[in-house]
């Protein structure tokens, strides 16, 4: 990724005696080059992406923007890049004042501004590089929104020097089937554009300047194709539900096509993000019905809104919390905004009544027995009889038996459970080495949650990223987990490893992992005892 464009120095002017007209002409030429590049990119894209690029190209050619910038060169003698910056800021302010759709275009104006400045200063255009052949994308970090829009035919893998393995950038990459390695310190200084690298998302490694033998071995592994038959079980027939995590209706259709046995985590944030107010009940019903329809007759576990922390929402959360990960997030937002939760439960109930899916509902960020009891009662008032909780906080794991006296099930979110157990922000690259669900402390909390579930006769699933790691899935089943929910792309690998391992072996390896002193030791002990991993290239 090119370096981001920074603001040219304020007031920077042309040298005395400079040709002002020639400097001003550079702006029009840059505008035409940027417009042409954006239109060309749009012609190669499809659907919404093409429409967005064409619209952005129109802004680049906007005569008002160009004329304003030219005037600043001629009148104020600003250098072209500073003139463009100020002109774009002026246009953005006008759009923001108009509100509505115009206000939403201010981001596009900033994008065009940066492209024009890059062109005028001889730098690479911001954003994902436009290359003729597929490539590995290397960057300090990548925003989740950018990862969500990457062209998977062009971006073969991503590797970043910052971030953490359970940050949403990594989760989105996994969900989209893009091999990703994060927190690879020193990577950017070790490679340059055009180098050959091998990115192994499963192993978490980046091989720089591999030899021909390594390249061929990697290609052979990548060419292996496995499928899931829709029946999760161990080698001795012990049933384990293998479910899918989905983030929107399109994900649900892909999960059904991958033969997921149901949905273990339906994230509902997709309807609430980037809005100034919540979606209406009718909007929610329409979206939820699409997911429920894709899994007619099968289980769908829908999570109520998980706002806060790295998913701020202006109508629910404050932007001035000192530590938002420990603040008002998940179910805690209902204390001040009960109407948002009530409307969502109404929408879920209506959608469930209209479809034949077996709908379970769970709340995120449950910390106490009281919270669980209140949520179950709220669901009951809406006719939602199977209400559960997410176990993401150590307190919930430690009193799981008492929580599950009220809740019908528990689903462990290993990403946040690891974050809170290890006191390591999942978004912070400098502590990424601590964000490891293999850590025995995290596994003990999983075991305690399963013990609480067994005591109450309640199922306990895992819907965090740990469920998608085949070797770790074996340990989780051995600890007593009854279902695993993951990106659909991981179903076949997890099913293959479980299918080659007996339930007794799962239990034995779980105990070895619990007894290990470190996360690395636990991982190595288990992997060494599972030769099927090497056979499958995992």
Sign of the C-alpha dihedral, residues 509, 204, 241, 392?
positive
Sign of the C-alpha dihedral, residues 333, 346, 260, 477?
positive
* Residue-wise DSSP of 446-472: HHHHHHHHHHHT--EEE-SGGGG-HHH
Question: Which residue has tokens 């400097």?
Answer: 23
- Poorest-pLDDT segment among 121-125, 296-300, 381-385: 121-125
> What is the Cα–Cα distance from 153 to 171, expressed in whole angstroms?
19
Q: Would you please indicate which residues are annotated as catalytic (active-site) residues?
A: 168, 463
Residues forming a β-bridge with 383: none
To the nearest 10°, report the CA torsion of 490, 442, 424, 402: 110
Longest dimension (CA), the chain: 86
Residues forming a β-bridge with 236: none
pLDDT in tens, 482-533: 999 998 988 999 999 999 999 999 999 999 999 999 999 999 999 999 999 9
In this prediction, residue 129 carries a pLDDT of: 85
Count of C-beta atoms within a 10 Å radius of residue 357: 25
In this prediction, residue 53 carries a pLDDT of: 76
Mean of pLDDT values over 265-269: 92
pLDDT in tens, 287-346: 999 999 999 999 999 999 887 656 666 666 666 666 777 888 888 888 888 899 999 999
User: Does residue 212 surpass a pLDDT of 60?
Assistant: yes
Count of C-beta atoms within a 10 Å radius of residue 378: 20
Q: Which two tokens stand for residue 72?
A: 């600043």
Q: Which residue has the higher pLDDT, 52 or 299?
A: 299
Q: Which two tokens stand for residue 285?
A: 């019903």
Element containing residue 269 per DSSP (H, E): none
pLDDT band at 203 (very low <50, low <70, confident <90, very high): confident
The closest alpha carbon to 317, from 291, 335, 300, belongs to 335
């Amino acid at each position: 990724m090119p370096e981001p464009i920074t603001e040219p120095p304020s007031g920077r002017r042309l040298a005395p005696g400079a040709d002002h007209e020639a400097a001003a002409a550079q702006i029009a030429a840059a505008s035409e080059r940027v417009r042409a590049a954006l239109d060309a990119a749009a012609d190669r894209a499809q659907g919404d992406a093409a429409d967005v690029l064409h619209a952005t190209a129109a802004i680049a050619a906007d005569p008002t923007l160009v004329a304003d910038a030219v005037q600043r060169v001629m009148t104020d003698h600003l250098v072209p890049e500073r003139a463009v910056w100020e002109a774009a800021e002026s246009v953005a302010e006008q759009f923001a004042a108009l509100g509505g759709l115009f206000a939403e275009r201010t981001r596009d104006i900033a994008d065009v501004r940066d492209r024009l400045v890059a062109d005028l200063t001889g730098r690479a255009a911001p954003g994902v590089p436009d290359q003729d052949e597929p490539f590995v994308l290397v960057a300090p970090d990548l925003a989740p929104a950018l990862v969500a829009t990457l062209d998977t035919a062009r971006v073969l893998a991503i590797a970043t020097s910052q971030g953490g393995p359970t940050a949403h950038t990594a989760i989105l990459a996994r969900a989209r089937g893009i091999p990703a390695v994060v927190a690879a310190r020193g990577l950017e200084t070790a490679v340059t554009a055009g180098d050959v690298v091998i990115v192994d998302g499963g192993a978490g490694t980046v091989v720089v300047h591999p030899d021909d033998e390594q390249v061929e071995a990697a290609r052979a592994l990548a060419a292996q194709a496995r499928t899931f038959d829709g029946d999760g079980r161990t080698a001795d027939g012990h049933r384990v539900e293998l479910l899918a995590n989905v983030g929107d209706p399109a994900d649900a259709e892909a999960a059904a096509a991958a033969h997921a046995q149901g949905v273990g985590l339906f994230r509902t944030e997709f309807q609430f993000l980037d809005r100034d107010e919540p979606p209406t009940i009718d909007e929610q019903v329409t979206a939820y019905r699409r997911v429920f329809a894709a899994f007619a007759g099968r289980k769908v576990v829908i999570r109520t809104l998980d706002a806060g922390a790295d998913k701020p929402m202006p109508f629910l959360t404050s932007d001035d919390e000192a530590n938002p990960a420990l603040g008002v997030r998940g179910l805690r937002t209902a204390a001040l905004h009960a109407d948002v939760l009530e409307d969502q439960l109404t929408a879920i109930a209506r959608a469930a009544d209209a479809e034949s899916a077996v709908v379970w509902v769970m709340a995120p960020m449950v910390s106490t027995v009281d919270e669980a009891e209140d949520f179950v009662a709220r669901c009951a008032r809406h006719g939602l009889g199977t209400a559960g909780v997410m176990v993401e906080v150590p307190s919930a794991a430690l009193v799981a038996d008492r929580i599950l006296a009220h809740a019908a099930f528990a689903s462990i979110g290993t990403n946040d459970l690891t974050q809170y157990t290890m006191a390591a922000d999942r978004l912070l690259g400098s502590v990424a080495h601590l964000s490891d669900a293999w850590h025995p402390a995290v596994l003990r909390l999983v075991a305690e949650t399963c013990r609480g579930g067994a005591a109450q006769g309640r199922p306990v699933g895992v819907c965090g990223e740990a469920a998608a790691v085949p070797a770790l899935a074996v340990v989780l089943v051995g600890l007593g987990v009854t279902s695993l929910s993951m990106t659909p792309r991981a179903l076949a690998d997890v099913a293959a490893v479980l299918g080659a391992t007996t339930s007794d072996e799962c239990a034995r390896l779980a105990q070895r992992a619990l007894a290990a002193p470190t996360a690395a030791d636990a991982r190595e002990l288990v992997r060494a005892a599972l030769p099927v991993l090497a056979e499958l290239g995992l």
